[in-house]
Amino acid sequence: MTTTNKISPQTPSQTIGPYFAYGLTPEQYGYNFKSWVDNKMVDPSKNLNTITIYGKVYDGKGNAINDAMIELWQNDGETKLFGRYGTGSDESNHFSFLTIKPNSVDGQAPYINVIVYMRGQLLHSYTRIYFSDEELNNSDITLKSIPKERQHTIIANKTSDGYEFNIYMQGLKETVFFQI
């Protein structure tokens, strides 16, 4: 990089606010505007190993948030996937995604990137979903860099319905968020 490059100031972030649904997740919420992305990240007729990841987003009082938007980003070099879903179209404020588990890259435990947006967040939050049935979790550099008592906050639990991943914005169970 040459020293003549001028640095342009980053455009500041602002909250997604409470009214994003008809613009960003319109079909999910029943608005008359075509969605270009949703929570079905893979076609189950073409993928045998689909998994469902589901959960809720909780505020500092333990209430499930009904106006958060979640995006999943994953790329293991073989499959690159993107999904988006809001927590406001389900009575109990769940999100859910249909995807496949990424492969391990460079010996690291497989994970999916998560971006969380909501009213009350002026900047979005980054986290990751790891999977409870992965041996590689025990030796993963990123997981090991996190205090032991917090590691479980980003490991989705395998259940009979898929993987459960709840996001806690604050409190004792506060999810690990990353600086990215």
Partner 1 sequence: MGKLIYNQFDMELQPPYKAPDYKSTILRAPSKPLIITKKNLSELSGPVFKDFKLGILDHDLTKNAIKYGDPIGERIVVSGKVTNELGQPIPNTLIEIWQANAAGKYIHKVDQHDAPLDPNFLGAGRCMTDANGNYKFYTIKPGAYPWGNHHNAWRPNHIHFSLFGGDISSRLITQMYFPKDPLFEFDPIYNAIPKRGRELLVSSLDLSITEPEYALGYRFDIVLRGHNETPFENK
Binders of Fe ion among residues 9 to 38 (CB under 5 A) are 17
C-beta of 82: minimal distance to partner 1 in Å? 4
What is the CA 2 to chain-centroid distance, rounded? 36
- Can you tell me the distance from the alpha carbon of 112 to that of 82, in angstroms, rounded to the nearest whole number? 10
Between 126 and 161, CB nearer to partner 1: 126
C-beta of 120: minimal distance to partner 1 in Å? 3
Between 139 and 159, CB nearer to partner 1: 139
Rounded alpha-carbon distances, angstroms, from residue 148 to 31, 64, 137, 145: 44, 26, 12, 9
Between 150 and 159, CB nearer to partner 1: 150
Site residues for partner 1, window 23-42 (CB under 8 A)? 23-24, 26, 29, 31-34, 36-37
C-beta of 14: minimal distance to Fe ion in Å? 9
Among 3, 43, 61, 135, binds partner 1 (CB under 8 A): 61
- Can you tell me the distance from the alpha carbon of 127 to that of 110, in angstroms, rounded to the nearest whole number? 14
- 98 has which bridge partners? 40, 52
Q: Evaluate whether 154 touches 125 at the Cβ level (below 8 Å).
A: no
C-beta of 164: minimal distance to partner 1 in Å? 21
C-beta of 160: minimal distance to partner 1 in Å? 27
Rounded alpha-carbon distances, angstroms, from residue 118 to 21, 41, 45, 48, 155: 11, 22, 33, 33, 22
- Residue 139 binds partner 1, judged by CB under 8 A: no
- Residue 60 binds Fe ion, judged by CB under 5 A: no
Using alpha carbons only, give the angle 82, 85, 89 rounded to the nearest 5 degrees. 165
- Residue 103 binds partner 1, judged by CB under 8 A: no
Site residues for partner 1, window 75-94 (CB under 8 A)? 75-78, 80, 82, 88
Q: Evaluate whether 81 touches 41 at the Cβ level (below 8 Å).
A: yes
Among 133, 139, 144, 178, binds partner 1 (CB under 8 A): 178
